[in-house]
Amino acid sequence: MRELVPTTEREVLLRFVGVERLYPRWAGRLGGSLPARAAEHLRYLPEGEWTQEDRDAGLRAVRQLHGSTLDPLLGLKVLWYAGTLESEELESVRLPSTPSLAALAPSLTLPSLTRALEMGHDTQDGELSGDYRFLKRHLSPGKLPASPCLVAKTTDGPRAVLSGLLVLCVAYSRQLEGPGAQPPLAVDLGVAPELARWGLAPPEMLEGAPPEGNAPGREGAAGPGEAPERE
């Protein structure tokens, strides 16, 4: 990553709203937790036109929707940065360690999840694949309209997704189309040296992490978007 500039937790969480409003299920997700006026403003107005009331309502809704993910993380003295992720760096982005993502992509990498979604595989709730196809149709190539968020123990990585997972999958799929197909991305980065204490940290971020092939959840088997491991 480059051009890292310190930012605040508040600004990062407000950019979660920018990611959420890209999805077709706005009303069933973040929008459903907002007063009607704030829901309309946050979805359709440019961020610079949000009122203080809109922003406060958005923050409360983000904390409510993503509380199980955010609450354990925000207690780890996170330092927040805004920066630029080169498209080539998408290859090394990790996924949060959840059972549903591990079932689709046991290696917990962005490329393996993207391949699984391209093949039409999905989580048990059936939501990821449809949202991925929607975003791939509607996000024009070039600068993305929202900033995903990554987390890491140091600024050098490895980095895992906190927000904007499917936006990053779309960006990675475009990166595969050839040089320059996906420009660098504006992203936020949360740096927490104690990230191993976050319940969703992927194996590479845990102290004494096993080699990737022996990471928890792999059990030597390939997921739907991955090649089988050789003996």
What is the overall mean pLDDT for the chain? Answer: 86
Q: Could you give the C-alpha distances from 90 to 45, 47, 50, 137, in angstroms and in order? A: 29, 26, 31, 20
Q: What is the pTM of this model?
A: 0.86
Residue pair 50/58 in contact by the 8 Å Cβ criterion: yes
Residue pair 91/41 in contact by the 8 Å Cβ criterion: no
Could you tell me the pLDDT band of residue 83, with boundaries at 50, 70 and 90?
A: very high
Tens-digit pLDDT profile for residues 176-185: 888 777 889 9
DSSP state of 212: G
Range of weakest confidence among 54-58, 114-118, 227-231: 227-231
Q: Residues 6 or more apart from 178 whose CB is under 8 A from it?
A: none
Tens-digit pLDDT profile for residues 47-62: 999 999 999 999 999 9
Range of weakest confidence among 6-20, 47-61, 68-82, 117-131: 117-131
CA distance linking residue 104 with residue 108, whole number of Å: 9
